[in-house]
Amino acid sequence: MDFTVDHFLKILQHAPEKELVFEYEAGTFVPMAYHITEVKNVHIESVDCGGRPDAYDQTIVQLWVKDGEHADRHMTAAKALKIFDIVDAKKPMKKDTPMFFEWGHGTALRTSVYAVEEIVETESQIVLQLFVPATVCKPAVKELALATAEGGCSPGGGCC
């Protein structure tokens, strides 16, 4: 299941007083002083290695920290909602699209686009646990899914 813009906004609306925290590696967090610097409505048109065209939309939220900047707590869900309201008023967000987060930090961490693996809510925080999705060969994935559905292949069976 994709983590969509609509799902994300509902989580923020449900708990506006909680801090919004991003965990991009087990036990490693985007610093408290992060900013949401850009929200991208992305339309992708592609052709895979099997020659099949595809088109889809996604939303990418860019996170950034100014070197040397510190904060005593993470951004609240309410503050994030205000940012998304401004964005939506100027460039309407596509609420049903999968949402990703772009994060990197100087030369210490190259910028990557992260997907949401899990959402953990505590008494005071909404923690988005992120991961970098692996690249895949779409034709092989589609062939495996089709063959499995037709009963002609099993995962790891070497049919693709």
Write down the pLDDT at residue 160.
46
pTM: 0.86
In order along its 160 residues, the chain shows pLDDT tens digits of: 579 999 999 999 999 999 999 999 999 999 999 999 999 999 999 998 888 899 999 999 999 999 889 999 999 999 999 999 999 999 999 999 999 999 998 877 899 999 999 999 999 999 999 999 988 887 777 665 665 555 555 555 554 4
Contact of 69 with 95, CB cutoff 8 Å: no
Please count the residues of the chain. 160
Burial (Cβ within 10 Å: 0-12, 13-18, ≥19) of residue 80: buried
Give pLDDT tens digits for 114-139.
999 999 999 999 999 999 998 888 77
The phi, psi pair for 117, rounded to 5°, reads -90, -40
Residues 101, 104, 110, 116, CA torsion sign: negative
Domain ranges of the chain: 5-134
Q: What is the mean pLDDT of the chain?
A: 90
pLDDT of residue 158: 52
| Residue 131 CB partners (closer than 8 Å, separation 6+) | 114, 115, 117
Model pLDDT, residue 136:
84
Task: Walk across the sheet containing 99-105 and list its strands.
Answer: 28-29, 19-25, 125-131, 109-121, 99-105, 53-64, 35-47
Contact 63, 34 (CB under 8 A): yes
How much is the pLDDT for 20?
98
* Amino acid code (one letter) for 139: P
